[in-house]
Amino acid sequence: MKQDSRLARWSASIGPGIVFALTASGPGSFVSNATAGATYGYALVWALGFTLLFRYAWLDTSARYVLVTGETLLDGYRRLSKPLVRIVLAGTIVVRHLSNMYKVVLLGSCIHLLLPLPFPWSAQFWSVFSIALAFTMIFWGGYQVIEHCCKALVAVMTASLIVAAFLSHADPAALWKALILPGLPADKGAYSAALLVMALIGTEAGSLTNLTYSYFLRAKGWSTAQDLPRQRFDLFTSIACIFLLGTLVQIAAAASIHPLGLRLKDANDLVKIFSQSLGVAGRLIFGAGMWASAFSGFIGGTTGYALMVTDILRNGMVSARAPDHAADARPAGLASKRPAPETRRDPYFRGFVAFWCFSPLYVLFTKWEPVVIILIVNSLMVVLIPVLALALLRLTNDRKRLGAYTNGWTTNTILAVMIVVSIWLMLRNLINWW
């Protein structure tokens, strides 16, 4: 009984980080890590930990700004540049649409692998069913329902991937060598090593998706500097979860697909990650784990982006409203706190939830390959990292607003390195594509 009570308290002490982890570790992370393992074996495992260091610094810094000032992160961005907020708004609408597009395909493919129906449109039927379920949960349930669902789904994903990695007969020596001797291997296969590292940065270090974490904090009810200790524990749990899931996927793909020299093109190819080693059991593990990944990423991402867009539109961040200079003059940590509204019934929130749930359904009538879409979308997300990270650096080094909560030299260094690395990878890939 005491153990159950302790588990319940631990579960209650986390939430936003788990929702964010599954939003970030959706099929984009799954496919990027699987493709890295399948193409280059264990050679890019180091990149996962490297990019998660960036993500932790970004999320912890932005969360500290939100909890200390009482503003949203986009309030702060607007103080620096209204055009930047407009770019974020436009990018959010496009990126969420494209991200949900490949999730629509994968959701149907995964259930079809487990429960094929006796007609040609089986996968499309399961796609529509999954989207209808997701829409119902987000539109009428809101954040609390999404959080409970994500906690259950993370257990399903972790269990399935642990079994798959254990039974894929990984090579511990090769894995250890890749971790202690990082480097970019020579390009081979359909995707260059730089593109895959860039895609990993797009999914693991993130860009627009990182902005959703602070909105999950507000939805949870964490809104002051007193919430910082549990926020940091929540974030540490989140990053550990992302690292575990991503590493298990790379290990399984490196041990199962890489020796076979297979090229990943769609969800039916991804099943080989497990089925080559586990047979029917692998098919079941893949179907359940990948569907949980796609579904949690869909509901978490759609909810977070809808909260963000609602904040932008509801509070006039893209209008010509004059900045609040009086708020700038207040001591650090004492800025007026706009209470987190109940956005579940907000027309903006519901409108964008409906748009992002149903607008991508046209992809069911195309022959687009989900893996290609995922890698391109995740690589494009890296383009915004330098701009958003530079703005975040400026905001979180403002002693007038943050006082003793400004960045230390370690955080500033990590964010600066992330900016340099993302620019270098972006330029390298542009040269290669040209």
* 72 against 51, higher pLDDT: 72
Mean pLDDT (the chain, rounded): 79
> What is d(CA 36, CA 19) in angstroms, rounded to the nearest whole number?
25
Q: What is the average pLDDT across 69-86?
A: 89
Q: What percent of the chain has pLDDT over 70?
A: 73
pLDDT per residue over 332-378, tens digit each?
A: 444 444 444 556 778 999 999 999 999 999 988 887 765 566 556 65
Judge whether residue 127 has pLDDT over 70.
Answer: yes
CA distance 247 to 48: 7
Query: 323: pLDDT confidence band, cut at 50, 70 and 90?
Result: very low
By mean pLDDT, which of 77-91, 98-112, 197-211, 313-327 is the weakest? 313-327
Per-residue pLDDT band at 90 (split at 50, 70, 90): confident
Of 29-33, 139-143, 147-151, 267-271, the range with the lowest mean pLDDT is 267-271
| Residue whose tokens read 């969800």 | 267
Asked if residue 381 has pLDDT above 50, the reply is: yes
Specify the long-range contacts of residues 292-295, CB closer than 8 Å, at least 24 apart: 292/153, 292/156, 292/157, 292/160, 293/22, 293/25, 293/26, 293/27, 293/29, 293/30, 293/157, 294/26, 294/27, 294/103, 294/106, 294/107, 294/110, 294/130, 295/103, 295/107, 295/130, 295/133, 295/134, 295/153
pLDDT tens-digit readout, 386-417: 888 899 999 999 998 898 999 999 999 988 88
Confidence category of residue 305, pLDDT binned at 50, 70, 90? very high
Look up residue 114 and give its two tokens. Answer: 């487990």
Does residue 186 or residue 375 have the better pLDDT? 186
Largest CA distance in the chain: 67
Q: Is the pLDDT of residue 202 over 50?
A: yes
Instruction: Over range 36-65, report the average pLDDT.
Output: 83
Q: Does the pLDDT at position 281 exceed 80?
A: no
Q: Report the pLDDT value the prediction gives residue 339, as an integer from 0 to 100.
A: 47
Residue 95 is predicted with a pLDDT of 82
d(C-alpha 344, C-alpha 394), whole Å: 32
**Helical segments of 279-408, H only:** 280-314, 325-328, 347-358, 370-381, 385-395, 399-402
| Conformation bin of residue 84: beta by default, left when phi > 0, alpha when psi is -120 to 50 | alpha
Q: Which of 142-146, 286-290, 404-408 has the lowest mean pLDDT?
A: 286-290
* 371 or 125: which leads in pLDDT: 125
The amino acid that residue 262 corresponds to is L
Report long-range pairs for 232-236 (Cβ below 8 Å, ≥24 apart).
232/60, 233/13, 233/14, 234/13, 234/14, 234/15, 234/16, 234/17, 234/18, 235/17, 235/56, 235/59, 235/60, 235/63, 236/17, 236/56
Tally the residues of the chain.
434
Average pLDDT over every residue of 23-48: 75
- What is the pLDDT at residue 336? 46
Q: How buried is 305 (Cβ within 10 angstroms: 0-12 exposed, 13-18 middle, 19+ buried)?
A: buried
Number of Cβ within 10 Å of residue 136's Cβ equals: 12
For residues 82 and 75, what is the distance between their CA atoms, to the nearest angstrom? 10
The alpha helices in 70-142, defined as continuous H runs, are 73-80, 82-114, 122-136
Most confident of 90-94, 169-173, 228-232, 379-383: 228-232
Highest mean pLDDT among 89-103, 151-165, 314-328, 338-352: 89-103
Q: What is the mean pLDDT of residues 254-276?
A: 62
pLDDT at 19: 92
Give the CATH H-level superfamily of domain 16-433.
Hydantoin permease (1.10.4160.10)
Is the separation of the CB atoms in 235 and 17 below 8 Å?
A: yes
Cα 36 to Cα 203: distance, rounded to the nearest angstrom: 13
Q: Report long-range pairs for 419-422 (Cβ below 8 Å, ≥24 apart).
A: 419/385, 419/386, 419/389, 419/390, 421/54, 421/201, 422/198, 422/201, 422/205, 422/382, 422/385, 422/386, 422/389
45-69 vs 228-256: helix crossing angle, rounded to 10 = 160
What average pLDDT score do residues 81-88 get? 88
The domains of the chain are located at 16-433
Q: Which residues, 6 or more positions from 372, have their beta carbon under 8 angstroms from its beta carbon?
A: 265
